């Protein structure tokens, strides 16, 4: 008999990830300690200025405020912002992984799309106005869409493993970005665009990347869980041959998955352009590994048929919390890659263990049903 | 008995209060260099840590260095590091910008929140940083050509090795080389040769030029790229004179075997020490430097002083 308080992870597999995030948050709040920050107050001109206080001798000195090193609005917002670029891409890559594919080119698509958008917006300069900004966003997304479509067309058309195709395009897309920019950083975008992405939604907390991440997660979730095409994505990942025989147009669905992966890299590139204000061919180098790691930690199975948009976002949040936690607790930065690698392997092992437990439970239930059937039957049946 | 206990407790409270009033002031300076896998930044780290210890002793303060350099070059991670340092209440930040465009807003945001920022090695000129400590690139080009002319006896054919043709700092160095070359009528500049900034590409470029133009008798290298690999220079030692910028451990062998005559060492250790000095002066004493550009001199390293100079790297690099 199951207790009503018991979490049923088989019905809500992301529950485990949320528990991990909460536990990590509690640990970082406890062990992170307190920090002292300059106290800021709103000045008469509407801008934040340093607060001052009088010391024992009556002299004015800058005032400070003590906050928890982890659990404060600025740090939490920063984690959300830093996660958003990876999490948005992880949603797209998860869809590809569910089809039993892989997209190693996301980091390069991100760079090429950002460079394309940057070159367009740079023509307009900081006085480019909304027209330049909208055009830049469209160009960025279009470049990303084309990159994703090319990946998909080559994978489906040549029937080559996606690892090979996207390994190749990873180099090609970054190479094109390098040729276009000569290795230089391109900045100078319409100010309206920069202000929009960096605007303080609550106080001076920039929440636009977080809001976009949530939107991408919701859209990705609806696509996978509520739309027929999404169910086909799972079906192909579960058994491609069976899907083909059941009438699913496998090639079309796969092509769509790579296009989505490209577009999500484009969305992340738009945010990066607005937030950081420049793009170069070196952008997003090595990000494909973090993105795939986020998807895997979030429960996507590299064998296909398993994964979710929410899981991808939560997986990316866990990786970012660990990266930030390393800094907060004071572990040298050099160890961050080792810790991330250990977390990814641990997540996969836990996932396999979980699957093994589920399989055993299923076997036990099947055996139990068989036994009941045998007992209920009038004629003796041999159970193998 | 009660009196004794009261007296002891009062003395203890008094002692604690006195200790807390006398407690040394703590300053945390974040340092965000370009990458951890470059020895020049390891030297900067050692410099920052040594200076923090020295200033702590001199001023009775507790100065800590918080090293937040990404493992590989990534300006986005540098932005994140600056934002985190501000959130954690750092007293100041020193940064070597991988991409000035991307770091300008983060630097401005830190300064607006009361955290002073200085740049070293690579500047963000449009930002509100307190100061930039680095090489004067035109002057660097002047020095390269002056040293080369001296080694060549003021005559011969010079090739300039210049890395990425779109890097503004390298262009200034090339400009400096050409300006000084005009003072030597018997020196002819063959051309400026650009290449991808990898040791292999740079070494290949030198080899190609030497095969096509055997008349070259001097190389003005405004960066040390080919010298980061072994056996990059195929000509006989001394037959072609070479002066290059930077004096990293891998380059010193070329001085010893006579392939290179002079290396102009950037003040990589001082990137750390001077940055901490500037930050401490601002954070503790609210003092600004006299100018926003603090020039770092170049130290000529030759066969004569190479062994002495090499000892620095033993101190600067972490022990294996």
CATH 1.20.120 for the A87-352 domain, yes or no: no
CA–CA separation, B198 and B228 (whole Å): 9
Residue B30 pLDDT > 90: yes
Q: How far apart are CA B52 and CA B61, in angstroms?
A: 9
pLDDT of residue B197: 73
Contact B83 A283 (CB under 8 A): no
**One pLDDT digit (tens) per residue for chain A, 384 residues:** 444 445 555 567 788 889 889 999 999 999 888 888 777 777 777 677 777 777 777 777 777 888 888 898 888 998 999 999 999 999 999 999 999 999 999 999 999 999 999 999 999 888 878 888 999 999 999 999 999 999 999 999 999 999 999 999 999 999 999 899 877 889 989 998 998 998 877 767 788 999 999 999 999 999 999 999 999 999 999 999 999 999 999 999 999 999 999 999 999 999 999 999 999 988 998 899 999 999 999 989 888 999 999 999 999 999 999 988 888 888 877 787 788 788 878 877 877 787 788 778 888 888 888 888 777 775 555 554
State the pLDDT confidence band at B20, using cuts at 50, 70 and 90.
Answer: very low
What is this structure's pTM? 0.82
Using a CB–CB cutoff of 8 Å, tell me whether B211 touches chain A. Answer: no
pLDDT band at B22 (very low <50, low <70, confident <90, very high): very low
By CA distance, what is B74's nearest residue in A? A283
Residue A232, pLDDT score: 96
Residues 6+ apart with CB under 8 A from A60: A52, A53, A54
What is B117-131 written as a DSSP string? EEEESS--TTS--SE
A125 touches chain B (CB under 8 A): no
Per CATH, B19-134+269-289 and B137-265 having the same topology is answered yes
* B101 has a chain A CB within 8 A of its CB: yes
What pLDDT, on a 0 to 100 scale, did the predictor assign at position B166?
A: 66
Window from A234-248, A354-368, B65-79, B204-218 with minimum mean pLDDT: A354-368
Of B74, B80, B102, the CB nearest to A285: B74
Closest Cβ–Cβ partner in A36, A283, A333 for B89: A36
Which residues of A are less than 8 Å from B74 in CB distance?
Answer: 282, 285
- Name the CATH superfamily housing domain B19-134+269-289: Response regulator (3.40.50.2300)
The pLDDT > 90 percentage for chain B reads 66
CA distance B67 to B318: 14
Question: Is the CB of residue A80 less than 8 Å from the CB of residue A21?
Answer: no
Give residue A382's pLDDT. Answer: 55
Domain ranges of chain B: 19-134+269-289, 137-265
Q: Which range is least confidently modeled, A25-29, A45-49, B115-119, B149-153?
A: A45-49
Of B71, B74, B89, the CB nearest to A35: B89
Is residue B12's pLDDT more than 60? no
Task: Identify the three-state secondary structure at position B184.
Answer: coil
Is the pLDDT assigned to residue B6 strictly greater than 90? no
What are the tens digits of pLDDT across the range B162-186? 987 767 788 899 999 999 999 999 9
- Cβ of B17 under 8 Å from any chain A Cβ? no
Q: Using the beta-carbon criterion (under 8 Å), do A337 and B71 form an inter-chain contact?
A: yes
| Option in A40, A69, A188 nearest B88 (CB) | A69
CA distance B320 to B313: 13
| Contact state of B165 with A182 under an 8 Å Cβ cutoff | yes
Q: What is the pLDDT of residue A15?
A: 82
User: Going by DSSP bridges, is the β-strand pair B262-265/A205-206 parallel, antiparallel, or unpaired?
Assistant: unpaired
Best B26, B33, B62, B102 residue to mutate vs chain A (most A CBs within 10 Å): B102
pLDDT given for residue B4 in this prediction: 56
Cβ atoms of B211 and B235 closer than 8 Å:
no
What pLDDT, on the 0 to 100 scale, is given for residue B11? Answer: 54
CA distance A334 to B82: 17
The model's confidence at residue B21, banded by pLDDT at 50, 70 and 90, is very low
What's the rounded mean pLDDT across residues B185-192?
A: 95
Chain B residues in contact with A333 (beta carbon < 8 A): 36, 67-71
Q: Is A226 on the interface with B (CB under 8 A)?
A: no
Which residues in chain B have Cβ-Cβ distances shorter than 8 Å to A272?
76
Q: What's the CATH number of domain B137-265, 3.40.50.2300, 3.30.429.10, 3.40.50.300, 1.20.1540.10?
A: 3.40.50.2300
User: What are the residue ranges spanned by the domains of chain A?
Assistant: 87-352
Q: Is the pLDDT of residue B236 over 50?
A: yes
């Amino acid at each position: 008999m199951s207790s009503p308080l018991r979490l049923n992870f088989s019905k809500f597999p992301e529950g485990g990830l949320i528990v991990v995030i909460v536990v990590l948050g509690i640990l970082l709040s406890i062990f992170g300690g307190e920090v002292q920050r300059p106290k800021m107050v709103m000045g008469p001109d509407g801008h934040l200025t340093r607060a001052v206080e009088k010391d024992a001798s009556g002299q004015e000195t800058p005032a400070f405020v003590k906050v928890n090193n982890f659990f404060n609005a600025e740090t939490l917002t920063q984690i959300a912002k830093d996660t958003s670029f990876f999490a948005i891409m992880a949603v797209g890559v998860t869809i590809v992984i569910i089809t039993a594919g892989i997209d190693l080119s996301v980091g390069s698509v991100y760079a090429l799309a950002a460079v394309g958008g940057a070159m367009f917006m740079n023509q307009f300069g900081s006085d480019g106005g909304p027209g330049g900004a909208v055009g830049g966003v469209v160009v960025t997304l279009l470049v990303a869409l084309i990159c994703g479509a090319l990946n998909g067309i080559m994978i489906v058309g040549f029937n080559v493993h996606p690892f090979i195709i996207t390994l190749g395009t990873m180099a090609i897309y970054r190479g094109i970005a390098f040729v276009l920019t000569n290795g230089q950083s391109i900045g100078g975008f319409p100010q309206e665009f920069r202000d929009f992405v960096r605007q303080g939604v609550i106080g001076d907390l920039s929440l636009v990347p977080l809001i976009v991440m949530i939107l991408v997660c919701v859209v990705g979730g609806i696509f996978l869980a509520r739309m027929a095409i999404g169910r086909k994505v799972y079906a192909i990942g579960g058994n491609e041959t069976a899907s083909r025989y059941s009438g699913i147009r496998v090639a079309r669905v796969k092509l769509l998955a790579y296009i989505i992966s490209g577009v999500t890299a484009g969305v992340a590139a738009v945010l990066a352009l607005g937030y950081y204000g420049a793009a170069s061919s070196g952008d997003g180098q090595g990000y494909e590994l973090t993105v795939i790691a986020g998807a895997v930690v979030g429960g996507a199975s590299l064998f296909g048929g398993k994964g979710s948009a929410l899981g991808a976002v939560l997986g990316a949040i866990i990786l970012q919390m660990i990266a930030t936690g390393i800094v907060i607790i004071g572990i040298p930065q050099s160890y961050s890659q080792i810790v991330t690698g250990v977390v990814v392997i641990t997540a996969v092992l836990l996932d396999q263990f979980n699957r093994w437990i589920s399989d055993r439970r299923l076997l036990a239930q099947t055996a139990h049903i068989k036994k009941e059937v045998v007992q209920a039957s009038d004629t003796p049946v041999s159970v193998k | 008995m009660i009196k004794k206990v009261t007296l002891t407790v009062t003395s203890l409270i008094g002692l604690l209060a006195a200790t807390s009033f006398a407690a040394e002031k703590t300053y945390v300076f974040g340092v965000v260099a370009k990458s951890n896998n470059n020895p020049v930044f390891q030297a900067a780290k050692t410099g920052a840590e040594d200076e923090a210890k020295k200033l702590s002793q001199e001023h009775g303060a507790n100065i800590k260095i918080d090293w937040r350099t990404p493992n590989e070059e990534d300006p986005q991670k540098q932005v994140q590091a600056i934002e985190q340092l501000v959130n954690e209440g750092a007293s100041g930040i020193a940064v070597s910008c991988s991409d000035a465009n991307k770091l300008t807003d983060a630097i401005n945001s830190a300064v607006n929140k009361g955290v002073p920022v200085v740049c070293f090695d690579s500047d963000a000129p449009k930002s509100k940083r307190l100061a930039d400590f680095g090489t004067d690139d035109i002057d660097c080009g002047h020095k390269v050509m002056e040293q080369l002319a001296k080694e060549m006896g003021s005559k011969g054919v010079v090739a300039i090795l210049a890395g990425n043709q779109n890097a503004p700092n390298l262009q200034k160095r090339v400009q400096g080389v050409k300006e000084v070359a005009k003072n030597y009528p018997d020196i002819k500049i063959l051309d400026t040769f650009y290449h991808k900034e990898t040791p292999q590409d740079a070494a290949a470029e030198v080899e190609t030029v030497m095969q096509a133009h055997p008349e070259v008798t001097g190389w003005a290298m405004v960066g040390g790229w080919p010298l980061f690999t072994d056996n990059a220079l195929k000509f006989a030692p001394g037959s072609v004179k070479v002066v290059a910028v930077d004096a990293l451990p891998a380059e010193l062998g070329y001085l010893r075997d006579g392939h290179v005559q002079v290396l102009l060492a950037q003040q990589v250790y001082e990137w750390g020490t001077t940055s901490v000095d500037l930050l401490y002066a601002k954070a503790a004493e609210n003092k600004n430097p006299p100018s926003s550009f603090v020039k770092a001199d170049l130290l000529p390293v030759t066969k004569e002083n190479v062994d002495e100079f090499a000892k620095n790297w033993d101190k600067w690099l972490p022990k294996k």
